[in-house]
Amino acid sequence: MNAIPQATGTTVGMDDDIFEQFIEQLKRYVRERLIPAEAQVIAEDKIPDEILDEMREMGLFGLTMPEEYGGAGMNISQYVETIRQLSYALPAYRSITSINLGMVCSAIKNSGTDEQKAAWLPRLAAGEIASFGLTEPGSGSDSAAMQTTATRSGNGYVLNGTKRYITNAPFAKVALIMARTEKEALPRNAHVSAFLVPMDTPGISVGKSDKKMGQAGSHIADIIMEDVHIPGDALLGGAEGKGFQTAMQSLDNGRLSVAAASAGYARRILDTAIRYATERKAFGEPISNFQLIQAMLADSEAEIYAAECMIADACRRADAGEKVLVKAASAKMFASEMCGRVADRCVQIHGGAGYLAEYEAERFFRDTRIYRIYEGTTQILQLVIAKNMLREFAAGAN
C-alpha cells in the first residue's frame, strides 16, 4: 500500500476524495493482508515486524498529526472512520496505533508547547509507539486516589509511582504520565500534572506483560518509576495542574476510538455469523432459514447501525468545535455493550461450535469483553452522562 497523502489543511481534514480512496485501499489491506495474518499474531502473541513496518509506511501512526509534523492531518470523523475500518481485523492492529493517535497526539496537540510538538509529533507520526499512563493499582478515574508523585528537583522533577494496565507499555518509546504535583489543590483535580517521559529514562522499568482473556497481540503491563529524574520541559504545556483536564480531553478521542473499534469488530462478527448460518444445515436446510436465527441477525444489524450513527454524529459535532464529553461517553457505552451482544449472538448461532476455539466465535466473545471496561467502564460512563445531565438541568432551572 501507498502512504497516506498529506491533508490540504489542518482544520478541515483530508480532501474527501483522497480520504475515500484511502479507505478503499485500507479495506483491501485489512482483508488481504491483516486478516490472513491473524493466526500468526494469535500464535506468537505479537504483530509481525514486517506488518508494523508496513503500517508505518502507510502512515497509520500519523493519521491525526498535523501535516507540518509529518502526519495526514485527518479530522476526528476521518480518524474514527479509519479506526472503524481497521477494527474489522484483529483488535491488536488498532491497539498498537490508537494510543498514539487518539490520546497522546491529542494531548500534545491541545496542550503541548511548540517545542514539545516539534520534538514529539514527528516521532509519533513516524511510528514510535506511545503509552498513556493514567491508571494505577489503586486508582483509575478517581484522580484523588492517584499515588504517583512528581516532586520538584532543581529545574526538573522526580517521578515515583506505578501505572497499571498500560497498553503498549512493553514497546513504547514515550509515555504520557499523569502524576501528583501537589498534595491537594483547588479547583478539583488541579493537583495532577502531565509529563512526557522517554521510556529509556533511568529509573523506569516495565513489568511483565499481563496474561489476558483475549485481544492476542495487544500487550499491557505496569510502568514502574523509581526516582526518575526528568527535566522541567517534560511538563506538558509547561504548566502544572493541567494533567487531569488533559487526560479527560484525550479520553473523548479515546472513547470515540473504542466506540469505532466496537462497531468495526461487531460488523466482522456479524458477517461471520451470517456466513456460518448460511453454511450450517439442520433438518435439511440452512439454519439461516430459521426465523429465530434471522431475529438474532436482524437485531445485530440494527444495533450496529445505531452505533455507527451515534459515532458519526459525535464526531461531526467534535469537528464543529462542540464539547462532546457526554456524546462520546454515550457512543462508547452503547457501542461497546452492543458489540458484546453481537458476539454473544454469534456464539449462539454457532451453537456448540461457538464454544470451541476452532471457530472464530469463541475468540470474538473473549476479545470484545474489554471494550466495556477500558477508556471508562460502562458504569463510570453512566455516572459521567448522568452527572452532566443533572448539571445542565440545574443550570437551566436557575
Q: What is the pLDDT of residues 220-250, one digit of tens each?
A: 999 999 999 999 999 999 989 888 777 777 7
What kind of fold does domain 131-241 have according to CATH?
Butyryl-CoA Dehydrogenase, subunit A; domain 2 (2.40.110)
Its sign, for the CA torsion 360, 208, 54, 175, is positive
Which cell is 112 given? 503541548
**Given a cut of 80, is residue 187 above it in pLDDT?**
no
* Interhelix angle 49-57/91-98, nearest 10 degrees: 60
Tell me which of 81, 240, 360, 375 is the catalytic residue: 375
76-86 vs 16-29: helix crossing angle, rounded to 10: 20
Interacting residues of 118 by C-beta distance below 8 A, sequence separation 6+: 69
Class of domain 251-397: mainly alpha
Please, where in the chain does CATH 2.40.110.10 lie?
A: 131-241
Q: What is the arithmetic mean of pLDDT over 201-207?
A: 97
Residue 54 known to be catalytic = no
From-to residues of CATH 1.10.540.10 in the chain: 16-128
User: Which H or E run contains 226?
Assistant: strand 220-230
Average pLDDT over residues 146-174: 94
In this prediction, residue 91 carries a pLDDT of 96
Task: Give the pLDDT confidence of 68-117 residue by residue, as tens digits.
Answer: 999 999 999 999 999 999 999 999 999 999 888 878 988 898 899 999 99
Is 1.10.357.10 the CATH number for 16-128?
no
Q: What is the CA radius of gyration of the chain?
A: 21
pLDDT tens digit sequence for 19-44: 999 999 999 999 999 999 999 999 99
